[in-house]
Chains A and B, each alone.
Chain A
Amino acid sequence: MADNYLEAYGKETSQDAGERTLKYFEDLFSMEMPLSRMMKMMPGMVKFMMSSKDTREDLFKFMPQMTPMIKQAVTGK
Chain B
Amino acid sequence: MPRLDKVAQIPKPDKIFVFKSCVASNKYPGIEACSSDSLRILGIEPVDSDEQTCCGGFVTFANVAAPTASMPAVARNLSLAEEKGLDTCVVCNGCWTFLNEFGHFMNHNAEVKASVNMMLNMMGKEYKGTGSVYHIAEMYYRLKEELAENVKRPLKGIKVATHYGCHYLGGGKYTAIDDAQMPSYLEEIIEILGGEVVPYTANRECCGTGFTQVINGKDLSLEHTKTKLDSVKEADPDILVVQCPYCHSQLDRIQQQFNYRDEGDFQTPILHIAQLVGMGLGLDVAKLGFAAHVSGRARLENVLDRIGR
Contacts and interface: CB of A to CB of B under 8 A. Distances in A.
Direct contact of A and B (CB under 8 A): yes
Contacts of B121: 62, 65
A45 B68 CA distance: 17
Contact residue range for chain A? 10 to 19
A31 B122 contact: no
B308 interface: no
Given A28-B66, A28-B68, A45 B115 contact: no
B122 A45 contact: yes
Interface residues of B, number: 11
A59 B122 contact: yes
B118 A65 contact: yes
Interface string B32-72: 00000000000000000000000000000000001110000
A29 B66 CA distance: 9
B122 A58 contact: yes
A63 to B, nearest CB: 10
Chain A residues touching B, majority SS: helix
B111 A31 contact: yes
A29 B105 CA distance: 14
Contacts of B215: none
A57 B121 CA distance: 12
Q: Which 3 A-B pairs have the closest CB atoms?
A: A58-B124, A62-B122, A62-B121
A59 B68 CA distance: 21
A48 to B, nearest CB: 7
Interface in B71-127: 111-112, 115, 118, 121-124
A31 B111 CA distance: 8
A31 B122 CA distance: 17
B115 A55 contact: no
A28 B65 CA distance: 11
B68 A58 contact: no
B124 to A, nearest CB: 4
B124 A61 contact: yes
Most buried by A among B66, B112, B118, B122: B122
Nearest to A55: B123
